[in-house]
């Protein structure tokens, strides 16, 4: 049994964690025992960060102090902004730009990297506060606009939208975006969180872990799927096909439908249910139901085809893009927004793991040749 190979580490237990639990059979997600529905509807992203990082929901006074400390860390050094400009000018993709800029942030961190365990949460707070500033600056520069200085009086969600557009968001936009951040904050040992943990388990600093997490999240099998979903919806919109025809063609070509399927969920992702409801509210109030109609048609068709019953159901990425679109956020910023939220989970898991650290070092079954006879270079 010890030698049983688990491709993709499916179902392998590698750690104990108090942080989040995903029940893929019934479609339930909890952060420290709290149902994601309750948190998404009742708690701000700052409250969720506090919960993940400090173990309990904050009192009003604790939240005020925590949110103020976080907001005080939002500004980034001018050198980082100049690098962001250079990356935007070079046409870098947003997730790659975020990866580079996050790594660079460590140069301006006042803490000593050598104390990885002790400083993880303090440095993590700085990274979490600065990532929105980096992302908004990147987007502004790309649009030929100047970056907007963060406003410490706004919430984490509100300030990001403000830095992106230059105007304070209305309440609905701020609440919607805050809910999206809460929904994406943590999700067990997903690929990017595990990446950050592996790096953290070497007692490397948290900048390394978060930078690695960003890289893992960028892939189309993970966070990149939210952008892919929206690109499909745009492609359908620009073509004469109806959404169901697009899906039929994609499946005939052996392509996967982005936003469907999950390693853990065998039923519809609870986060997808919450975002679908949000999308419905937004579509009803704006009168623009296009994305809602397309996504509903695709989901209905794949349900009729038995895909959902087989366990390939809508995941969080199926609805998040349409919600971001209603906030006017560009498509290639969707995955960076996922990173902007999930960074909270990465840091929580790295800090938790480092409390009782053991180097993560699995092994592979060797299938290469044995006893190869070495031939010197000049005789080959
Ligand atoms: N469309 C069509 N078929 C699918 C899909 C899909 N989206 N997802 C899985 N399948 C099929 C797959 O072809 C395979 O069938 P078969 O056994 O006949 O070859 C079977 O389901 C199992 O797939 P798998 O790749 O072995 O399963 P996995 O647990 O490794 O995959 C996944 C999980 C998320 C990588 C996969 O479902 C997928 O590629 N989905 C599309 C991309 C996506 O939406 N990713 C976001 C995941 S949720 C948010 C996040 O974590 O970032």
Residue 1 has pLDDT above 60, yes or no: no
ipTM of the complex: 0.96
**Tens-place pLDDT, residues 144-202:** 999 999 999 999 999 999 999 999 999 999 999 999 999 999 999 999 999 999 999 99
- Residue 339 Cα to ligand 1 middle (Å): 21
- Residue 256 Cα to ligand 1 middle (Å): 7
Q: pLDDT at position 117, please?
A: 65
Assign residue 142 the CATH number of its domain: 1.10.580.10
Please report whether residue 27 resides in a domain. Answer: no
Please report whether residue 256 resides in a domain. Answer: yes
- Residue 313 Cα to ligand 1 middle (Å): 10
**Tens-place pLDDT, residues 308-363:** 999 999 999 999 999 999 999 999 999 999 999 999 999 999 999 999 999 999 99
* CA distances to 5, 304, 319, 335, 338 from 244, in Å: 38, 11, 16, 25, 27
Q: Which atom of ligand 1 is nearest to the CA of 310?
A: 21
**What is the C-alpha separation between 329 and 322, in angstroms, rounded?**
10
Question: What is the rounded average pLDDT of the residues 232-246?
Answer: 90
**What is the C-alpha separation between 61 and 205, in angstroms, rounded?**
30
Residues 292, 237 within the same domain: yes
What residues are in contact with ligand 1 under a 6 Å CB criterion? Answer: 8, 190, 221-223, 225, 256-263, 312, 315-317
First to last CA, the chain: 42
Contact 25, 266 (CB under 8 A): yes
| Active-site residue, selected from the candidate residues 262, 269, 325, 349 | 262
Q: Could you please report the per-residue DSSP string of 335-363?
A: HHHHHHHHHHHHHHHHHHHHHT-------
Helix ranges (H only) for the chain are: 36-42, 45-54, 60-71, 78-89, 94-105, 116-142, 156-165, 171-184, 191-200, 206-217, 225-238, 243-252, 270-286, 290-304, 316-326, 334-355
Residues 299, 203 within the same domain: no
| Active-site residue, selected from the candidate residues 156, 184, 222, 349 | 222
Please report whether residue 55 resides in a domain. Answer: yes
Please report, rounded to a whole number, the percentage of residues in the chain having pLDDT higher than 90. 93
**What is the C-alpha separation between 53 and 74, in angstroms, rounded?**
18
Please report whether residue 7 resides in a domain. Answer: no
Question: What is the rounded average pLDDT of the residues 48-74?
Answer: 98
**What is the C-alpha separation between 321 and 227, in angstroms, rounded?**
7
**What is the C-alpha separation between 130 and 78, in angstroms, rounded?**
12
Q: Ligand 1: which of 231, 256, 298 to mutate, judged by most atoms within 8 Å of the beta carbon? A: 256
**Tens-place pLDDT, residues 29-44:** 999 999 999 999 999 9
Residue 2 has pLDDT above 80, yes or no: no
Q: pLDDT at position 330, please?
A: 95
- Domain span at 306: 225-326
363 CB-near residues (< 8 Å, 6+ apart): none
**What is the C-alpha separation between 312 and 56, in angstroms, rounded?**
34
**Residue whose tokens read 């000593």:** 112
212 CB-near residues (< 8 Å, 6+ apart): 195, 196, 198, 199
Assign residue 296 the CATH number of its domain: 1.10.230.10
Task: Report residue 241's pLDDT band, with 50, 70 and 90 as the boundaries.
Answer: confident
Question: What is the rounded average pLDDT of the residues 110-136?
Answer: 88
Average pLDDT, the chain: 95
Q: pLDDT at position 3, please?
A: 80
| Active-site residue, selected from the candidate residues 178, 186, 317, 325 | 317
Residues 180, 85 within the same domain: yes
**What is the C-alpha separation between 153 and 115, in angstroms, rounded?**
31
Q: pLDDT at position 240, please?
A: 79
| Cβ neighbours around 252 below 10 Å, total | 8
- Residue 289 Cα to ligand 1 middle (Å): 28
> Is 234 part of the annotated catalytic residue set?
no
Residues 147, 52 within the same domain: yes
Residues 249, 163 within the same domain: no
Q: Across the chain, which distance is largest between two alpha carbons, in Å?
A: 76
Q: Which atom of ligand 1 is nearest to the CA of 190?
A: 51
User: pTM for the whole thing?
Assistant: 0.94
> Is 317 part of the annotated catalytic residue set?
yes
Task: Report residue 114's pLDDT band, with 50, 70 and 90 as the boundaries.
Answer: low
């Amino acid at each position: 049994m010890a030698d049983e190979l688990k491709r993709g580490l499916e179902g392998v237990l590698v750690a104990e964690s108090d942080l989040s639990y995903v029940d893929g059979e019934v479609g339930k997600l909890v952060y420290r025992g709290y149902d994601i529905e309750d948190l998404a509807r009742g708690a701000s992203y700052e409250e969720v960060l506090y919960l993940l990082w400090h173990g309990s929901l904050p009192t009003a006074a604790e939240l005020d102090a925590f949110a103020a400390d976080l907001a005080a860390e939002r500004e980034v050094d001018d050198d980082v902004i100049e690098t962001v400009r250079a990356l935007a000018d070079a046409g870098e993709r947003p997730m790659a730009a975020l990866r580079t800029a996050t790594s660079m942030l460590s140069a301006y961190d006042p803490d000593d990297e050598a104390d990885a365990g002790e400083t993880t949460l303090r440095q993590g707070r700085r990274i979490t506060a600065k990532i929105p500033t980096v992302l908004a600056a990147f987007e502004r520069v790309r649009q030929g606009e100047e970056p907007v200085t963060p406003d410490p009086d706004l919430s984490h969600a509100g300030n990001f939208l403000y830095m992106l557009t230059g105007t304070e968001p209305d309440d609905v936009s701020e609440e919607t975006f805050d809910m999206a951040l809460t929904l994406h904050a943590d999700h067990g040992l997903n690929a990017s969180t595990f990446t950050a943990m592996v790096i953290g388990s070497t007692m490397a600093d948290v900048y390394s872990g978060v930078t690695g997490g960003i890289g893992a999240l960028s892939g189309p099998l993970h966070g990149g799927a939210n952008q892919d979903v929206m690109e499909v919806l745009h492609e359908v919109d620009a073509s004469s096909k109806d959404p169901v025809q697009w899906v039929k063609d994609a499946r005939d070509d052996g392509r996967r439908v982005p936003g469907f399927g999950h390693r853990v969920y065998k039923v519809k992702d609870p986060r997808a249910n919450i975002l679908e409801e949000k999308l419905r509210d937004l579509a009803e109030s704006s009168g623009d139901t296009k994305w809602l109609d397309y996504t509903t048609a695709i989901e209905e068709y794949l349900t009729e085809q038995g895909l959902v019953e087989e366990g390939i159901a809508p995941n969080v990425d199926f609805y998040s893009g349409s919600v971001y679109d209603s906030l006017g956020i560009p498509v290639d910023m969707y995955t960076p927004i996922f990173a902007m939220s999930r960074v909270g989970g990465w840091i929580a898991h790295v800090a938790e793991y480092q409390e009782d650290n053991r180097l993560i070092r699995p092994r592979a079954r060797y299938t290469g040749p044995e006893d190869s006879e070495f031939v010197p270079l000049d005789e080959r």
